[in-house]
Amino acid sequence: MMILKRLLIWCLVLVLWSFNSWSQSGQPLKLWYDKPAANWNEALPIGNGRLAAMIFGGTDKERIQLNEETVWSGEPGNNIIDNVYDSIQQIRGLIFEGRYKEAQDLSNRAFPRQAPKGINYGMQYQPVGNLTLSFPGHENTSAYTRELNISDAISTVSYEVNDITYNREMFASLNSGVIIMRISASKPGSVSLELGINTPQRINSVSAKDKRLILTGTSGSSDNKTGKVRFEAVVHPLLEGGKIVTRDSTLVISGANTVTLYISIGTNYKNYQDISGNPSAIAMKYLSAALPKKYAADKALHTKLYKKYFDRVTLDLGTTAQASKPTNTRVEEFSSTSDPQLVSLYFQFGRYLMISGSQPGGQPTNLQGKWNEKLSPPWDSKYTININTEMNYWPAEITNLSELHQPLFDMIKDLSITGQESASKMYHARGWNVHHNTDLWRITGPVDGGFYGMWPMGGAWLTQHLWYHYIHTGDKQFLQKVYPILKSCATFYVDVLQEEPTNKWLVVAPSMSPENSYQNSVGISAGTTMDNQLVFDVFSNYIKAAAALNLDKNFTDTVKMKLERLPPMQVGQYGQLQEWLQDWDKPNDRHRHISHLYGLFPGNQVSPYRSPALFNAARTSLINRGDKSTGWSMGWKVNWWARLQDGNRAYKLIADQLTPAPIEEKGQNGGTYPNLFDAHPPFQIDGNFGCTSGVAEMLVQSHDGAIHVLPALPDVWANGTVKGLVTRGGFTIDITWKDHKPLTIKITSKLGGNCRIRSFDALTLKGGKLNKATGANTNRLMEIAEIKQPLISAKAKQENVKVKKVVEYDLATKAGGVYILELSAIQK
Ligand code: FUC
């Protein structure tokens, strides 16, 4: 009896220990399932930036869907329609005369909805194909699990057949640049399978020779462009025991102890204007470098490289029993259970996707990151730069993945060259610009016609990312390198701004508030709020950059003069932040784009402390637009509610995001697929990144002249720890909080300089004295540009939202210094 009692106590201790160990940060974070994927939205993504794959985890039939980031339809070349300057001038005239419908009609004629002859509206990101594996006799299995461990970026499948346990381990190696799968079994000599490869690409060939599978193909053609990206995928199995037989187009392996598959892919793409590469040589280069490496060593190095990024940030919001359930069940049950660990998993999954999808030297993540099975994916899986591409990169700086921002910077550099054609031909302006879409070939002209495409602001928004990188890293060399791009972007707006007739403000015209309309099918306008905010940021950043580098005094003066004449923000009749120059907003407008709130996030032109009227107005606009929408729209809303310091509403949006995605892959109701991919619907990766950024913004913000710790904590996150978030000024922040109050804040200063901390609770400095903040923050990387006083409609009845009182401290830091702040004894 005694022994039984002891045993029971031990069991209890063990259960409690294992349960507790789950809740510690540092435990493996996993997506896992007890069935193979029934469709693509259940398959699991791996990637190393250049290559990407979706793993279905089938037992008798496995499919690995393959992508390579430069397989796009078409060929080099821009898409600028000739002789449109006169039409643009006429459209401007009509807008300023208030003849908006006529302006829209003319714009629709000058820029037709379908690409006119000789022009293209952007190319498609396309798949390479599928690796197929058949395991005869593996139809009926037991003890099945498949998982994606995002702590080490390895995916596994495991099951039993006839008392033999089969394991597959797979990763896209950050080390050797190939995709590797190892198949093993608990009994020697039990691995037998047939390997095949196929592609949906129309031009292709599959062959099996020298114990290798080889797939070659050419990308598709669309609009006026011929598909010219050639690719080659090579699959090379390494066997331990057993034998391999080469058939026509398959490889048959039998009786092996283990099989390790190396998948290497090359294309002829060198850069946006050069496709003279040799796909076969590139595939072979990666393969021959990978093959001699030992599997275990490659895996260890891959994991090490991955962890270098991933481990920089940990988030512990607590764990409940839900965490032990399969991931799809957790998504299904999220609204009816308490599952804070699913939020931290989802947050970290966004970081996983960035590490796996955006590596230095490669392409930036597109609408589907790098994961796409279709020849004609939704919106071509291009770069939509009136929100989606930028959203992909919101987590880059704040979640400590700064180097992975690089592919976006490279694309901006390319666009600053190709965009000179659109600036000069379409607008007779200097500098560069791009409209609302671009692709692998760096097109810069309008896409999808006058209604969607007449938005010459893509460069204005994209270049904000160059600035974010600088103010988070303080990297002057980087600033020097990108300065010409910032200057040339500012030059475009110096040239292109028009004086509007009523207030004589300088505005962009024609343009639009992305994809929204103020009259039936009429969206064309001048001086939309978002445009004004963007130009304000382009000019302000440029002025700060020129000052930091001590350059171009004369041009800076010109930019300053133009900046003075931009329109102020306006509060309209409903107390809303006006979307357009005129008070045209409708309170029942539920459009997914809420572009005029750019100034609230990611911009920093709306603050509860500096501009309370705008803060209230932005809040009213957001309330009017409602919560439920497309995935990316909800992702944006998490960030907005965080900036509005309403943690509960931000959390509500996260919960909306974590509802199961609709079966039908269309419409405007987003959610989450079983594999945690965001549903627009269909799958679109931006919502993943938007939410990841939003969670970080709920915990730390640094856009408003100070580092605000825990600015938007929801009631449900009473206790927690976050480590490794990065703020402007190069400060790394760790926070442990209890009962909604920050217990300790660890600040690591990379660059030195004044660290201004803002908190709802009084703080003390461990081992020193913490001074209350005085005057403006002397840290130039946290400088805020003064906005104009807003204009407020006489009709506006504004609700005055109570903002919680804050305390601010100044801490003089040294580069490399570590500082611990603690909750003041009076607050405990
Ligand atoms: C914009 C959005 C759509 C979609 C597309 C890719 O056009 O309005 O919702 O996200 O981009």
HEC profile for 387-453? CHHHHHCCHHHHCCCHHHHHHHHHHHHHHHHHHHHHHHHHHCCCCCCCCCEECCCCCCCCCCHHHHH
Q: Which of 699, 693, 747, 692 is nearest to 720 (CA)?
A: 699
367 lines ligand 1 (CB under 6 A): yes
Q: How far is the CA of 464 from the centre of ligand 1 (A)?
A: 20
Q: How far is the CA of 16 from the centre of ligand 1 (A)?
A: 47
Longest dimension (CA), the chain: 96
Residue 72: DSSP 8-state = B
Q: What is the pLDDT of residue 28?
A: 82
455 lines ligand 1 (CB under 6 A): no
Q: What is the pLDDT of residue 88?
A: 98
Interatomic CA distance for residues 682 and 665, integer angstroms: 4
Q: Are 57 and 146 in contact (CB under 8 A)?
A: yes
592 lines ligand 1 (CB under 6 A): yes
632 lines ligand 1 (CB under 6 A): yes
**Residue 686 Cα: closest atom of ligand 1:** 10
Q: What is the pLDDT of residue 126?
A: 99
Task: Tell me the average pLDDT across 169-184.
Answer: 98
C-beta atoms surrounding 481 within 10 Å: 13
464 falls in which pLDDT band (50, 70, 90)?
Answer: very high
Q: How far is the CA of 630 from the centre of ligand 1 (A)?
A: 9
Pick from 376, 461, 515 the residue to mutate for probing ligand 1's pocket: most ligand atoms within 8 Å of its CB: 515
Interatomic CA distance for residues 616 and 152, integer angstroms: 44
pLDDT tops 90 at residue 204: yes
Task: Tell me the average pLDDT across 393-419.
Answer: 99
Q: How far is the CA of 806 from the centre of ligand 1 (A)?
A: 38
Task: Tell me the average pLDDT across 328-348.
Answer: 98
Q: How far is the CA of 77 from the centre of ligand 1 (A)?
A: 24
pLDDT tops 80 at residue 2: no
615 lines ligand 1 (CB under 6 A): no
Pick from 669, 684, 689 the residue to mutate for probing ligand 1's pocket: most ligand atoms within 8 Å of its CB: 684
Site of tokens 């990611």: 602
Q: How far is the CA of 305 from the centre of ligand 1 (A)?
A: 34
Q: Which of 506, 458, 527, 446 is nearest to 84 (CA)?
A: 446
Pick from 632, 665, 688 the residue to mutate for probing ligand 1's pocket: most ligand atoms within 8 Å of its CB: 632
Site of tokens 């357009």: 580
Pick from 388, 438, 669 the residue to mutate for probing ligand 1's pocket: most ligand atoms within 8 Å of its CB: 388
CA distances from residue 714 to 62, 621, 718 in whole angstroms, order as listed: 42, 21, 8
Q: How far is the CA of 121 from the centre of ligand 1 (A)?
A: 15
Q: What angle do CA 778, 564, 728 make, to 5 degrees?
A: 30
Interatomic CA distance for residues 369 and 371, integer angstroms: 6
Q: Are 319 and 341 in contact (CB under 8 A)?
A: yes
**Residue 367 Cα: closest atom of ligand 1:** 6
pLDDT tops 80 at residue 311: yes
Query: For the chain, how big is the Rg over CA atoms in Å?
Result: 27
493 lines ligand 1 (CB under 6 A): no
Interatomic CA distance for residues 68 and 128, integer angstroms: 7
Pick from 124, 367, 384, 629 the residue to mutate for probing ligand 1's pocket: most ligand atoms within 8 Å of its CB: 384
Interatomic CA distance for residues 682 and 670, integer angstroms: 8
Q: How far is the CA of 789 from the centre of ligand 1 (A)?
A: 32
Task: Tell me the average pLDDT across 203-232.
Answer: 97
CA dihedral (57, 63, 68, 72) positive or negative: negative
10 falls in which pLDDT band (50, 70, 90)?
Answer: very low
Note the pLDDT tens digit of each residue in 540-564: 999 999 999 999 999 999 999 999 9
Task: Tell me the average pLDDT across 510-532.
Answer: 98
DSSP result, 271-282: BTTB----HHHH
Distance linking the first and last C-alpha atoms of the chain = 47
479 lines ligand 1 (CB under 6 A): no
Q: How far is the CA of 152 from the centre of ligand 1 (A)?
A: 32
Q: What is the pLDDT of residue 27?
A: 62
316 lines ligand 1 (CB under 6 A): no
Structure tokens at 778: 């002397």
Q: How far is the CA of 518 from the centre of ligand 1 (A)?
A: 18
**Residue 633 Cα: closest atom of ligand 1:** 9
Interatomic CA distance for residues 344 and 330, integer angstroms: 13
Pick from 680, 685, 686 the residue to mutate for probing ligand 1's pocket: most ligand atoms within 8 Å of its CB: 680
7 falls in which pLDDT band (50, 70, 90)?
Answer: very low
Q: Which amino acid is at 643?
A: R
Q: How far is the CA of 88 from the centre of ligand 1 (A)?
A: 25
Give every CB contact of residue 266 below 8 A, 6+ residues apart in sequence.
68, 231, 232, 277, 278, 279, 280, 281, 282, 283, 284, 285, 286
598 lines ligand 1 (CB under 6 A): no
Give every CB contact of residue 43 below 8 A, 6+ residues apart in sequence.
37, 54, 55, 56, 57, 63, 65, 675
Structure tokens at 94: 């009509």
Interatomic CA distance for residues 768 and 626, integer angstroms: 47
1 falls in which pLDDT band (50, 70, 90)?
Answer: very low
636 lines ligand 1 (CB under 6 A): no
Q: How far is the CA of 654 from the centre of ligand 1 (A)?
A: 20
Task: Tell me the average pLDDT across 790-809.
Answer: 93
pLDDT tops 70 at residue 25: no
Task: Tell me the average pLDDT across 422-439.
Answer: 98
Of 25-29, 325-329, 397-401, minimum mean pLDDT range: 25-29
Q: How far is the CA of 760 from the centre of ligand 1 (A)?
A: 37
Give every CB contact of residue 452 below 8 A, 6+ residues apart in sequence.
436, 515
Task: Tell me the average pLDDT across 391-413.
Answer: 99
Q: Which of 452, 378, 366, 438 is nearest to 122 (CA)?
A: 438
Interatomic CA distance for residues 375 and 128, integer angstroms: 9
Structure tokens at 501: 């007739």
Residue-wise over 411-444: b if at least 16 C-beta within 10 A, else e? bbebbbebbbbbbbbbbebebbbbbbbbbbbbbb
Q: How far is the CA of 243 from the centre of ligand 1 (A)?
A: 50
Q: Which of 166, 192, 79 is nearest to 156 (CA)?
A: 166
Q: Which of 409, 432, 569, 406 is nearest to 490 (CA)?
A: 432
Q: How far is the CA of 752 from the centre of ligand 1 (A)?
A: 41
Chain centroid to Cα 601, Å, comes to 15
Note the pLDDT tens digit of each residue in 611-663: 999 999 999 999 999 999 999 999 999 999 999 999 999 999 999 999 999 98
Helix axes 553-564, 476-496, angle to 10 degrees: 50
Ligand 1, atom 1: closest residue by C-alpha = 384
φ/ψ region of 218 (left if φ > 0, alpha if ψ in -120 to 50, else beta) reads beta
pTM: 0.96
Q: What is the pLDDT of residue 825?
A: 86
Residue 368: DSSP 8-state = T
Structure tokens at 587: 């309170």
DSSP result, 718-748: -SEEEEEEEETTTEEEEEEEETTEEEEEEEE
Pick from 125, 366, 380, 387 the residue to mutate for probing ligand 1's pocket: most ligand atoms within 8 Å of its CB: 387
Note the pLDDT tens digit of each residue in 88-129: 999 999 999 999 999 999 999 999 999 999 999 999 999 999
Q: How far is the CA of 694 from the centre of ligand 1 (A)?
A: 19
390 lines ligand 1 (CB under 6 A): no
Site of tokens 């764990």: 319
689 lines ligand 1 (CB under 6 A): no
Backbone angles phi, psi at 590, to 5 degrees: -110, 25
**Residue 668 Cα: closest atom of ligand 1:** 9
436 lines ligand 1 (CB under 6 A): no
Residue-wise over 548-564: b if at least 16 C-beta within 10 A, else e? beeebeebbeebeebbe
Q: Which of 712, 818, 826 is nearest to 761 (CA)?
A: 826
Q: Which of 324, 371, 457 is nearest to 684 (CA)?
A: 371
380 lines ligand 1 (CB under 6 A): no
384 lines ligand 1 (CB under 6 A): yes
379 lines ligand 1 (CB under 6 A): yes
Q: How far is the CA of 147 from the centre of ligand 1 (A)?
A: 31
| H-state helical runs in 497-628 | 529-549, 553-564, 612-625
388 lines ligand 1 (CB under 6 A): yes
Note the pLDDT tens digit of each residue in 770-791: 999 999 999 999 999 999 999 9
Q: What integer best gives the mean pLDDT of the chain?
A: 96
Site of tokens 């929801």: 714
Interatomic CA distance for residues 613 and 594, integer angstroms: 18
Note the pLDDT tens digit of each residue in 491-512: 999 999 999 999 999 999 999 9
Interatomic CA distance for residues 370 and 172, integer angstroms: 12
Task: Tell me the average pLDDT across 36-65.
Answer: 98
* SS3 of residue 361 by DSSP: coil
**Residue 386 Cα: closest atom of ligand 1:** 1
680 lines ligand 1 (CB under 6 A): yes
**Residue 630 Cα: closest atom of ligand 1:** 9
CA distances from residue 15 to 18, 30, 145, 327 in whole angstroms, order as listed: 5, 20, 21, 21
9 falls in which pLDDT band (50, 70, 90)?
Answer: very low
* SS3 of residue 625 by DSSP: helix
**Residue 514 Cα: closest atom of ligand 1:** 8
Q: Which of 26, 823, 819, 71 is nearest to 440 (CA)?
A: 71
Interatomic CA distance for residues 525 and 510, integer angstroms: 6
H or E segment and range at residue 795: none
